[in-house]
């Protein structure tokens, strides 16, 4: 199984990462469960949500939070903030960004599903600010595999919603650099740029058909899974 992850998180006891397509589409609940079983994580400990390209983040910091979460059926949101041990959460992506953000001591960890709409709604910045309401620890970030500026062509209406530093004009086409847009937001929220890690162009979900699902390339609902699990 190919997992794209950040060692800093693993070293803090947070098993996490984005699982490549070799295991199949994690949109299939059985495949998602198999992925967790093969990692030694009980699938029942992993919380899920219904992604809506918004800016809502679910916080699970106490047993009470967990009880409230379980008492409700439908959770429309695009991100997580966890601090409860033996608890995990997942999102699905197929071009959108899985953004991992955490306090340097590993107490608080966030995973958000940032499509271009989420980025425009400042979900990355909101995730950083939410952690900062809980702790004064320095924040660290990992921007997982997603569609990169080589492939993320947009029209003027979408480009106009992004800061000019994140918009690239090339061959009479317009591209958006989501890494850049997210880094700008995280910096604005007080995260040091040196603490933000992002993958190479080989981790563009659209270019790299061997390793990733891509909605833009394939037009299917297949998706890769990203998860966090606190030991």
- Residue 94 CB, nearest distance to Zn ion (Å)? 14
Rounded Cα distance between 123 and 116, Å, is: 10
154 lies in the site for Zn ion, by CB under 5 A: no
| Residue 166 backbone class (left: φ over 0; alpha: ψ -120 to 50; beta: rest) | alpha
**10 Å Cβ neighbour count for 171?**
6
Cα of first residue to Cα of last residue in the chain, in angstroms, is: 20
Q: Which is nearer to Zn ion, 32 or 204 (CB)?
A: 204
**10 Å Cβ neighbour count for 192?**
12
The site that binds Zn ion (CB under 5 A) totals a number of residues, namely 6
DSSP label of 218: H
Task: Point out which span in 53-61, 69-77, 127-135, 151-159 binds Zn ion (CB under 5 A).
Answer: 151-159
- Residue 210 CB, nearest distance to Zn ion (Å)? 13
Mark residues 176-215: x for contact with Zn ion by CB under 5 A, - for none: ----------------------------x-xx--------
Q: Which of 95, 122, 98, 126 is nearest to 112 (CA)?
A: 98
Task: Point out which span in 26-34, 63-71, 148-156, 157-165 binds Zn ion (CB under 5 A).
Answer: 148-156
| Binding interface with Zn ion (CB under 5 A) | 148, 150-151, 204, 206-207
């Amino acid at each position: 199984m190919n997992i794209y992850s950040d060692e800093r998180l693993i070293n803090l006891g947070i098993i996490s990462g984005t699982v490549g397509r070799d295991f199949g589409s994690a949109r299939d609940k059985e495949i998602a469960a198999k992925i967790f079983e093969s990692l030694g994580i009980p699938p029942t400990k992993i919380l899920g949500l219904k992604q809506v390209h918004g800016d809502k983040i679910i916080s699970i910091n106490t047993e009470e939070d967990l009880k409230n979460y379980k008492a409700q059926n439908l959770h429309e949101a695009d991100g997580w903030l966890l601090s409860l041990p033996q608890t995990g959460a997942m999102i699905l992506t197929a071009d959108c960004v899985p953004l991992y953000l955490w306090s340097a001591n590993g107490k608080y960890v966030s995973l958000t599903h940032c499509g271009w709409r989420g980025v425009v709604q400042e979900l990355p910045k909101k995730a950083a600010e939410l952690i900062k309401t809980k702790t004064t620890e320095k924040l660290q970030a990992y921007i997982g595999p997603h569609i990169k500026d080589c492939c993320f062509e947009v029209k003027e209406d979408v480009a106009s919603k992004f800061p000019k530093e994140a918009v690239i004009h090339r061959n009479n086409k317009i591209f958006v650099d989501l890494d850049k847009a997210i880094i700008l937001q995280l910096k604005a929220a007080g995260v040091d740029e040196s603490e933000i890690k992002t993958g190479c162009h080989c981790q563009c979900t659209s270019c790299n058909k061997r390793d990733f699902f891509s909605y833009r390339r394939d037009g299917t609902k297949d998706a890769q899974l990203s998860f966090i699990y606190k030991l």
